[in-house]
Amino acid sequence: MAPRLVILDRDGVINQDSDNYIKSLAEWVPYPSAITAIARLSQQGWTVAVATNQSGIARGYYDEATLESMHTRMLSLVEAEGGRIEHIAYCPHISEDRCDCRKPLPGLLRQIQDALALDSLEGAWMVGDSYRDLEAGAAVGCRLALVRTGKGERTLAKHPELGRTDSEAEVHDDLAGFVDQLLQGNLDT
């Protein structure tokens, strides 16, 4: 049986993204509908985790304490709406570091699997705004959803096959739209 788990990318899915990186708490601007959507998932018995590349740390744009302040704010907003994020996994590296955690590699998702003591991520959901999010999810057997927020529209332009009806990825306007369909039972196949 597939775990009732939704793994979310952060920037572009939960909060506004920037090509110049989200470097401070002031720049971390959540989508209000995403915070509510996460709370709704939790309230309906779904486990929510976050897997996020944060190469801005390795690039020297911000430090781990700053990242922690963003995550503390995110957790408190979700909790204020009656929800919970069970685990946040992040990769502080750049590609040249050759780590195993930077998406599109599945290391972050494996960290989530270990943290939640799951035998497998087969059938869990991976929701992202980039192709690398979907690649990471596919590598561990997740069902895939792409949101149009953040870099989602650019991802669709580069990979139009994702928008076809025979695509393995569901495409939604935003996280709230995905959650609406999931909770209505329209995505469980």
Whether residue 159 is annotated as binding a ligand: the answer is no
Q: Determine whether the annotation assigns residue 9 to a binding site.
A: yes
Instruction: Report whether 133 belongs to an annotated binding site.
Output: no
Closest CA to 103 of 116, 92, 114: 92
> Is 129 a known ligand-binding residue?
yes
Backbone φ and ψ for 123, nearest 5 degrees, come out as 90, -10
**101 in a labelled binding site:** yes
DSSP state of 5: E
- Ligand-binding annotation for 91, yes or no, is yes
Say if residue 99 carries a ligand binding annotation. yes
* Token pair of 139 as six digits: 């590598």
Catalytic residues: 9, 11
Start-end of H helices in 20-129: 32-43, 64-80, 107-115
Q: What are the backbone angles phi and psi of residue 60, rounded to the nearest 5°?
A: 80, 15
Binding residues, by number, are: 9, 11, 91, 93, 99, 101, 129
Binding residues for Zn(2+), by number, are: 91, 93, 99, 101
